[in-house]
Structure 1
Amino acid sequence: MNLPRRPEDAHATLAAAFNTGNVATVMNMYDADGIIVPEPGKPVSGREKFEGAITAILSIKGKMEIKTVYCLQAGNVAVGRSEWSITDGSDVKVSAKGIELMKQQTDGTWKIVIDHAFGAEGNLVAQ
C-alpha cells in the first residue's frame, strides 16, 4: 500500500490500511517512534506497544471508515481532525472523533506521528 503524497489523504489511506487486516500494512502508516492512543487515556509508544495497540484494534471485526473534518498543513507537518468508526453491517462496533499529527517524510510521503483516536471527544476535560 502506498503512503499518501498529501496529508489530507492520510485518513483515507489509514482506513484502507486497517481494512487489509494486516499489522505490517497499518504500521507502515505510522512513525513507530510516535504515540498512539488506542483507548481513551491510554497512550502508548515504542514499537512493541504500538504493534500491540494496532493488533488490538484489528481484532475488532468490521470495516473502518475515517472522514476528514479538517487537515491543516504548515511546511512538513500537518494536523488533522477525524471522525472514524468500525462497523459490521449496520452494527457500529466503535466510533470516535480523533486528532492526528502527520509529518512529511524525506521521500515526500506522509506518516502519522501522533494518533489520538479519541482526542476530539467532547467528554475530555482539562484537569
Structure 2
Amino acid sequence: MNLPEKAEEVHAALAAAFNTGNIDTVFEIYDYNGIIVPEPGKVVSGKEQFEEAVKSILSVNGTMAIKTVYCLQTGDVAVGRSEWSITDGDEVKISAKGIEVMQRQADGHWKIIIDHAFGALDSLKA
C-alpha cells in the first residue's frame, strides 16, 4: 500500500484504497482520533464508528472516483475540497462534494483527520 506523501495525493490514494475493497488499506489513510461525516447530519469518531461508516461506504458496489478541486497546505496541515462519486458502469450510485482536513504524520505520510463527505454541497444545512 502506498500512503500519500503529499497532501494533494490523499484523494487519489483514498479512491485507490476504496477500490481495492480492503478495509485495512482504507483505515491507514484515516486518523481514528479525527471525525468522519459519512452522511449528512451524522458525525462519527473513534475506531468502531469509523469502521462502521467505512464498511457502509464499501458496501456500495461500484468504482470510487475522487477529483481534487483544491488542496491548500500550511506546514503539516492541509484542507482539500473534493468531488467524489461511486459509479457502476453508467449508473451513478452516489456523488457528493466533500471537504477534508489532512495532517502530515511523524513518518511523513498524510492522513485525513476530518472528512466531511458532503460538506461542500449547496443544499447542506448547518
Give the TM interval when normalised to the shorter protein.
over 0.9
Spell out the pairing of 1:1-127 with structure 2 (5 A cutoff). 1-126=1-126
- Structure 1 runs (4+) deviating above 6 angstroms are none
After superposition, what is the alpha-carbon deviation per residue over 1:9-64, rounded to whole angstroms, capped at 9, x for unaligned? 10000000000111111011100111011111101001000000000000000000
Distance in 2 of aligned mates of 1:33 and 1:51: 13
Unaligned stretches of 5+ in structure 2?
Answer: none
- Report if the CA contact (8 A) 2:37-2:115 is conserved: yes
With the length of structure 2 as denominator, give the TM-score of the two structures. Answer: 0.98
Q: How many residues align?
A: 126
3-state SS of the aligned residue for 2:3?
Answer: coil
Q: Which segments of 5 or more consecutive residues in structure 1 lack a partner in the other structure?
A: none
d(CA) in 2 for partners of 1:49, 1:108: 26
2:123 maps to amino acid? N
| Structural RMSD (CA) | 0.7
Which letter maps to 1:54? V
